[in-house]
Protein backbone atom coordinates (compact mmCIF):
# COMPACT_ATOMS: atom_id res chain seq x y z
CA UNK A 1 0.00 0.00 0.00
CA UNK A 2 1.29 3.44 -0.88
CA UNK A 3 1.62 6.03 1.88
CA UNK A 4 0.49 9.63 2.16
CA UNK A 5 1.22 12.46 4.57
CA UNK A 6 -1.49 14.58 6.16
CA UNK A 7 -0.72 17.77 8.07
CA UNK A 8 2.05 17.99 10.68
CA UNK A 9 3.78 14.97 9.17
CA UNK A 10 1.08 12.42 10.03
CA UNK A 11 1.80 9.49 7.70
CA UNK A 12 -0.97 7.03 6.83
CA UNK A 13 -1.86 4.51 4.15
CA UNK A 14 -3.12 6.11 0.94
CA UNK A 15 -6.55 4.67 1.64
CA UNK A 16 -8.11 4.33 5.07
CA UNK A 17 -11.05 2.32 6.37
CA UNK A 18 -14.15 3.95 7.78
CA UNK A 19 -15.61 1.67 10.45
CA UNK A 20 -18.92 3.40 11.22
CA UNK A 21 -21.12 1.11 9.14
CA UNK A 22 -19.94 -1.93 11.03
CA UNK A 23 -21.91 -0.81 14.08
CA UNK A 24 -24.26 1.99 13.13
CA UNK A 25 -26.29 3.85 10.47
CA UNK A 26 -26.14 1.45 7.50
CA UNK A 27 -28.71 -1.05 8.72
CA UNK A 28 -28.36 -3.44 11.63
CA UNK A 29 -24.97 -3.80 13.38
CA UNK A 30 -22.84 -6.50 11.82
CA UNK A 31 -21.39 -9.55 13.56
CA UNK A 32 -18.54 -8.42 15.81
CA UNK A 33 -16.27 -11.35 15.03
CA UNK A 34 -16.69 -10.87 11.29
CA UNK A 35 -15.92 -7.16 11.55
CA UNK A 36 -12.80 -7.78 13.62
CA UNK A 37 -11.67 -10.22 10.90
CA UNK A 38 -12.39 -7.59 8.24
CA UNK A 39 -10.38 -4.89 10.02
CA UNK A 40 -7.48 -7.30 10.39
CA UNK A 41 -7.78 -8.26 6.72
CA UNK A 42 -7.51 -4.58 5.83
CA UNK A 43 -4.32 -4.31 7.87
CA UNK A 44 -2.89 -7.40 6.19
CA UNK A 45 -3.51 -5.70 2.84
CA UNK A 46 -1.68 -2.54 3.84
CA UNK A 47 -4.35 -0.31 5.38
CA UNK A 48 -2.95 1.46 8.43
CA UNK A 49 -5.52 4.26 8.89
CA UNK A 50 -8.77 3.44 10.67
CA UNK A 51 -11.62 5.80 11.46
CA UNK A 52 -14.24 5.65 14.21
CA UNK A 53 -16.07 8.00 16.60
CA UNK A 54 -17.46 8.04 20.09
CA UNK A 55 -20.99 8.50 18.72
CA UNK A 56 -20.88 5.47 16.39
CA UNK A 57 -23.03 2.89 18.08
CA UNK A 58 -22.70 4.90 20.30
CA UNK A 59 -19.43 3.78 21.94
CA UNK A 60 -19.37 0.22 20.61
CA UNK A 61 -17.57 1.07 17.36
CA UNK A 62 -14.57 2.36 19.28
CA UNK A 63 -14.59 -0.85 21.31
CA UNK A 64 -14.72 -2.94 18.15
CA UNK A 65 -11.79 -1.12 16.56
CA UNK A 66 -9.73 -1.20 19.73
CA UNK A 67 -10.09 -4.96 20.04
CA UNK A 68 -9.44 -5.55 16.34
CA UNK A 69 -6.15 -3.64 16.11
CA UNK A 70 -4.72 -4.53 19.51
CA UNK A 71 -2.28 -7.13 18.06
CA UNK A 72 -0.69 -4.50 15.79
CA UNK A 73 -1.58 -1.26 17.55
CA UNK A 74 1.87 0.26 17.13
CA UNK A 75 1.67 -0.06 13.35
CA UNK A 76 -1.62 1.77 12.72
CA UNK A 77 -3.14 5.23 13.02
CA UNK A 78 -6.47 5.41 14.83
CA UNK A 79 -8.77 8.40 14.41
CA UNK A 80 -11.78 9.07 16.58
CA UNK A 81 -14.03 12.05 17.32
CA UNK A 82 -15.55 14.01 20.18
CA UNK A 83 -18.22 16.67 20.43
CA UNK A 84 -21.57 15.03 21.21
CA UNK A 85 -23.47 14.16 24.34
CA UNK A 86 -26.26 11.69 24.90
CA UNK A 87 -29.84 12.85 25.10
CA UNK A 88 -31.06 13.00 28.72
CA UNK A 89 -32.07 9.55 29.92
CA UNK A 90 -31.29 7.90 26.60
CA UNK A 91 -27.76 6.75 25.88
CA UNK A 92 -28.76 5.50 22.43
CA UNK A 93 -29.46 8.95 20.99
CA UNK A 94 -26.70 11.51 20.80
CA UNK A 95 -28.42 14.60 19.51
CA UNK A 96 -26.72 17.54 21.24
CA UNK A 97 -23.36 19.09 20.45
CA UNK A 98 -20.92 19.57 23.31
CA UNK A 99 -17.35 20.71 22.72
CA UNK A 100 -16.82 22.45 26.04
CA UNK A 101 -13.22 21.93 27.19
CA UNK A 102 -14.35 20.21 30.37
CA UNK A 103 -16.44 17.79 28.30
CA UNK A 104 -13.50 17.06 25.98
CA UNK A 105 -11.24 16.35 28.96
CA UNK A 106 -13.81 13.88 30.30
CA UNK A 107 -14.75 11.98 27.15
CA UNK A 108 -11.18 11.50 25.95
CA UNK A 109 -10.69 9.08 28.83
CA UNK A 110 -13.53 6.87 27.60
CA UNK A 111 -12.19 6.84 24.05
CA UNK A 112 -8.72 5.93 25.27
CA UNK A 113 -10.15 3.04 27.26
CA UNK A 114 -12.37 1.73 24.49
CA UNK A 115 -9.61 1.95 21.89
CA UNK A 116 -7.16 0.31 24.32
CA UNK A 117 -4.51 2.94 23.70
CA UNK A 118 -2.41 5.34 25.72
CA UNK A 119 -2.75 8.08 23.09
CA UNK A 120 -5.26 8.76 20.31
CA UNK A 121 -3.43 9.32 17.06
CA UNK A 122 -5.91 11.75 15.47
CA UNK A 123 -8.65 13.41 17.52
CA UNK A 124 -11.33 15.24 15.53
CA UNK A 125 -14.00 17.64 16.66
CA UNK A 126 -16.95 15.81 15.10
CA UNK A 127 -18.99 18.93 14.31
CA UNK A 128 -18.34 22.58 15.04
CA UNK A 129 -20.15 23.64 18.22
CA UNK A 130 -21.50 27.19 17.75
CA UNK A 131 -21.77 27.58 21.54
CA UNK A 132 -18.04 27.08 22.15
CA UNK A 133 -15.31 29.28 20.62
CA UNK A 134 -13.13 27.14 18.39
CA UNK A 135 -10.08 28.62 20.13
CA UNK A 136 -11.25 26.97 23.37
CA UNK A 137 -11.69 23.64 21.58
CA UNK A 138 -8.26 23.83 19.96
CA UNK A 139 -6.75 24.82 23.28
CA UNK A 140 -8.30 21.83 25.02
CA UNK A 141 -6.90 19.45 22.40
CA UNK A 142 -3.53 21.21 22.58
CA UNK A 143 -3.51 20.47 26.32
CA UNK A 144 -4.31 16.81 25.64
CA UNK A 145 -1.43 16.66 23.15
CA UNK A 146 0.92 18.16 25.72
CA UNK A 147 -0.33 15.59 28.24
CA UNK A 148 0.46 12.74 25.84
CA UNK A 149 -3.16 11.62 25.44
CA UNK A 150 -3.55 12.81 21.83
CA UNK A 151 -1.03 13.10 19.01
CA UNK A 152 -2.76 15.12 16.27
CA UNK A 153 -5.78 17.45 16.05
CA UNK A 154 -8.50 17.30 13.41
CA UNK A 155 -11.75 19.01 12.47
CA UNK A 156 -14.80 17.67 10.63
CA UNK A 157 -17.12 19.58 8.29
CA UNK A 158 -15.63 22.91 9.44
CA UNK A 159 -15.68 26.08 7.37
CA UNK A 160 -12.75 28.23 6.30
CA UNK A 161 -12.89 30.73 9.17
CA UNK A 162 -13.10 27.99 11.78
CA UNK A 163 -10.17 26.13 10.23
CA UNK A 164 -8.00 29.24 10.29
CA UNK A 165 -8.90 30.16 13.88
CA UNK A 166 -8.34 26.62 15.16
CA UNK A 167 -5.07 26.24 13.30
CA UNK A 168 -3.73 29.42 14.88
CA UNK A 169 -4.09 27.86 18.35
CA UNK A 170 -3.21 24.23 17.64
CA UNK A 171 -2.03 23.16 14.16
CA UNK A 172 -4.69 21.05 12.45
CA UNK A 173 -3.47 17.86 10.80
CA UNK A 174 -6.63 16.86 8.94
CA UNK A 175 -10.08 18.00 7.99
CA UNK A 176 -12.58 15.21 7.59
CA UNK A 177 -15.43 16.25 5.31
CA UNK A 178 -17.60 14.72 2.66
CA UNK A 179 -15.98 14.94 -0.78
CA UNK A 180 -16.67 12.87 -3.86
CA UNK A 181 -17.79 13.17 -7.46
CA UNK A 182 -21.31 13.80 -6.22
CA UNK A 183 -20.33 16.35 -3.57
CA UNK A 184 -17.63 18.68 -4.89
CA UNK A 185 -18.43 21.66 -2.69
CA UNK A 186 -15.04 21.54 -0.85
CA UNK A 187 -13.29 22.57 -4.07
CA UNK A 188 -14.69 26.09 -3.86
CA UNK A 189 -12.99 27.34 -0.70
CA UNK A 190 -11.94 24.45 1.54
CA UNK A 191 -9.25 22.82 -0.61
CA UNK A 192 -7.39 26.11 -1.20
CA UNK A 193 -7.15 26.91 2.51
CA UNK A 194 -6.06 23.35 3.34
CA UNK A 195 -3.29 23.58 0.77
CA UNK A 196 -2.24 26.98 2.10
CA UNK A 197 -2.05 25.79 5.70
CA UNK A 198 -0.64 22.32 5.03
CA UNK A 199 -3.67 20.42 6.30
CA UNK A 200 -4.69 17.04 4.89
CA UNK A 201 -8.20 16.18 3.71
CA UNK A 202 -9.85 12.91 4.73
CA UNK A 203 -13.00 12.50 2.60
CA UNK A 204 -15.78 10.47 4.18
CA UNK A 205 -18.50 8.98 1.97
CA UNK A 206 -16.07 9.03 -0.98
CA UNK A 207 -18.38 6.59 -2.76
CA UNK A 208 -21.52 8.63 -2.20
CA UNK A 209 -22.78 6.46 0.66
CA UNK A 210 -22.63 3.50 -1.71
CA UNK A 211 -24.29 5.09 -4.73
CA UNK A 212 -21.09 5.46 -6.76
CA UNK A 213 -20.35 1.73 -6.52
CA UNK A 214 -23.20 1.02 -8.94
CA UNK A 215 -24.80 -1.36 -6.46
CA UNK A 216 -27.74 0.97 -5.70
CA UNK A 217 -30.55 1.75 -8.13
CA UNK A 218 -34.19 2.85 -8.00
CA UNK A 219 -35.27 -0.63 -6.91
CA UNK A 220 -32.89 -0.92 -3.96
CA UNK A 221 -34.63 -1.31 -0.60
CA UNK A 222 -32.75 -0.23 2.50
CA UNK A 223 -33.15 -1.79 5.93
CA UNK A 224 -35.59 0.18 8.10
CA UNK A 225 -32.68 1.23 10.35
CA UNK A 226 -30.56 2.50 7.43
CA UNK A 227 -30.15 6.28 7.68
CA UNK A 228 -30.23 6.62 3.89
CA UNK A 229 -34.00 6.29 4.17
CA UNK A 230 -33.95 9.86 5.53
CA UNK A 231 -31.51 11.33 3.01
CA UNK A 232 -33.20 13.37 0.25
CA UNK A 233 -30.56 12.34 -2.27
CA UNK A 234 -31.73 8.74 -1.90
CA UNK A 235 -35.41 9.17 -2.69
CA UNK A 236 -36.48 6.98 -5.60
CA UNK A 237 -36.97 10.00 -7.84
CA UNK A 238 -33.57 11.49 -7.02
CA UNK A 239 -31.80 8.16 -7.38
CA UNK A 240 -33.23 7.91 -10.88
CA UNK A 241 -32.01 11.40 -11.77
CA UNK A 242 -28.58 10.84 -10.24
CA UNK A 243 -27.96 7.74 -12.34
CA UNK A 244 -26.60 10.14 -14.96
CA UNK A 245 -23.47 10.63 -12.84
CA UNK A 246 -23.13 6.92 -12.26
CA UNK A 247 -23.45 6.24 -16.00
CA UNK A 248 -20.62 8.69 -16.61
CA UNK A 249 -18.37 6.99 -14.06
CA UNK A 250 -19.21 3.60 -15.53
CA UNK A 251 -18.06 4.75 -18.97
CA UNK A 252 -14.68 5.80 -17.60
CA UNK A 253 -14.46 2.54 -15.65
CA UNK A 254 -14.99 0.49 -18.81
CA UNK A 255 -12.25 2.44 -20.58
CA UNK A 256 -9.80 1.74 -17.77
CA UNK A 257 -10.90 -1.84 -17.16
CA UNK A 258 -11.78 -1.16 -13.53
CA UNK A 259 -14.95 -0.73 -11.45
CA UNK A 260 -16.97 2.46 -10.90
CA UNK A 261 -15.92 2.52 -7.24
CA UNK A 262 -12.28 2.36 -8.24
CA UNK A 263 -12.69 5.28 -10.64
CA UNK A 264 -14.42 7.36 -7.96
CA UNK A 265 -11.66 6.67 -5.44
CA UNK A 266 -8.82 7.02 -7.96
CA UNK A 267 -10.18 10.43 -8.94
CA UNK A 268 -9.97 11.59 -5.32
CA UNK A 269 -6.45 10.21 -4.96
CA UNK A 270 -5.41 12.02 -8.14
CA UNK A 271 -6.77 15.37 -6.97
CA UNK A 272 -4.11 16.07 -4.32
CA UNK A 273 -1.31 14.04 -2.70
CA UNK A 274 -2.63 15.00 0.75
CA UNK A 275 -6.12 13.57 0.22
CA UNK A 276 -6.79 10.21 1.94
CA UNK A 277 -10.29 8.76 1.42
CA UNK A 278 -11.80 6.47 4.04
CA UNK A 279 -14.43 4.34 2.30
CA UNK A 280 -16.34 2.09 4.66
CA UNK A 281 -17.43 -1.46 3.99
CA UNK A 282 -18.49 -4.60 5.81
CA UNK A 283 -17.51 -6.99 3.01
CA UNK A 284 -14.10 -8.42 2.11
CA UNK A 285 -14.74 -8.25 -1.65
CA UNK A 286 -15.60 -4.56 -1.42
CA UNK A 287 -12.56 -3.93 0.76
CA UNK A 288 -10.30 -5.51 -1.85
CA UNK A 289 -12.04 -3.59 -4.63
CA UNK A 290 -11.50 -0.31 -2.80
CA UNK A 291 -7.86 -1.07 -2.10
CA UNK A 292 -7.41 -1.76 -5.82
CA UNK A 293 -8.13 1.90 -6.54
CA UNK A 294 -4.71 2.86 -5.19
CA UNK A 295 -3.06 1.32 -8.25
CA UNK A 296 -5.44 2.86 -10.80
CA UNK A 297 -3.51 5.47 -12.76
CA UNK A 298 -5.44 8.52 -13.94
CA UNK A 299 -3.59 11.05 -16.07
CA UNK A 300 -4.12 14.79 -15.77
CA UNK A 301 -6.25 14.55 -18.91
CA UNK A 302 -8.33 11.74 -17.36
CA UNK A 303 -8.97 13.80 -14.25
CA UNK A 304 -9.90 16.86 -16.28
CA UNK A 305 -12.30 14.91 -18.49
CA UNK A 306 -14.01 13.33 -15.48
CA UNK A 307 -14.36 16.69 -13.77
CA UNK A 308 -15.60 18.53 -16.85
CA UNK A 309 -18.15 15.86 -17.67
CA UNK A 310 -19.42 15.48 -14.11
CA UNK A 311 -19.74 19.26 -13.70
CA UNK A 312 -22.44 19.24 -16.37
CA UNK A 313 -24.61 16.90 -14.30
CA UNK A 314 -26.81 18.47 -11.63
CA UNK A 315 -27.11 16.15 -8.65
CA UNK A 316 -30.61 16.04 -7.25
CA UNK A 317 -31.44 16.04 -3.53
CA UNK A 318 -29.72 17.32 -0.42
CA UNK A 319 -26.98 15.14 1.07
CA UNK A 320 -28.47 15.36 4.58
CA UNK A 321 -31.90 15.90 6.15
CA UNK A 322 -32.36 19.51 7.29
CA UNK A 323 -31.68 18.61 10.93
CA UNK A 324 -28.19 17.37 10.05
CA UNK A 325 -27.37 19.83 7.30
CA UNK A 326 -27.59 22.75 9.73
CA UNK A 327 -24.68 21.23 11.69
CA UNK A 328 -22.33 21.60 8.72
CA UNK A 329 -20.36 24.79 8.23
CA UNK A 330 -20.24 26.20 4.72
What is the reported pTM? 0.96
pLDDT at site 91: 58
Of the listed ranges 121-130, 162-171, 219-228, the least confidently predicted one is: 219-228
Contact 168, 199 (CB under 8 A): no
Give the model's pLDDT for residue 248. 96
Which of 26, 56, 123, 152 does the annotation list as catalytic? Answer: 56
Q: Return the closest-CA partner of residue 274 out of 186, 173, 185, 204.
A: 173
Using alpha carbons, list the distances in angstroms from residue 209 to 212, 216, 278, 295.
8, 10, 11, 22
Q: What is the mean pLDDT of residues 270-286?
A: 98
Residues present in the chain in total = 330
What pLDDT, on the 0 to 100 scale, is given for residue 97?
A: 94
| % of the chain with per-residue pLDDT over 70 | 97
- The pLDDT tens digits of the residues spanning 89-117 come to 655 667 789 999 999 999 999 999 999 99
The C-alpha atoms of residue 126 and residue 129 are separated, in whole angstroms, by: 9
**Domain locations in the chain?**
3-325
pLDDT digits (tens, 9 = 90+) for 86-95: 776 655 667 7
**pLDDT confidence of residue 323:** 76
Q: Which CATH superfamily is domain 3-325 in?
A: NADP-dependent oxidoreductase domain (3.20.20.100)
Statement: residue 326 has pLDDT above 80: no
124 is catalytic: no
Q: Report which of 145, 184, 129 is spatially closest to residue 10, judged by C-alpha positions.
A: 145
Amino acid sequence: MKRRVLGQGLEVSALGLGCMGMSWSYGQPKDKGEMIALIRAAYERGVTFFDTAEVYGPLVNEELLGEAVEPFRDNVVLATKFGWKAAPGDGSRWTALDSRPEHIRTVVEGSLRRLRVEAIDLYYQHRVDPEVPIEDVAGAVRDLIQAGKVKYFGLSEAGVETIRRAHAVQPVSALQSEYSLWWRHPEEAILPVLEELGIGLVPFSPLGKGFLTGAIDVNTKFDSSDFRNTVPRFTTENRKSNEALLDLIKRFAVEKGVTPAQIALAWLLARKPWIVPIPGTTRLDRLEENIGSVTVELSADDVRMIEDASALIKIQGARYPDSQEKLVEK
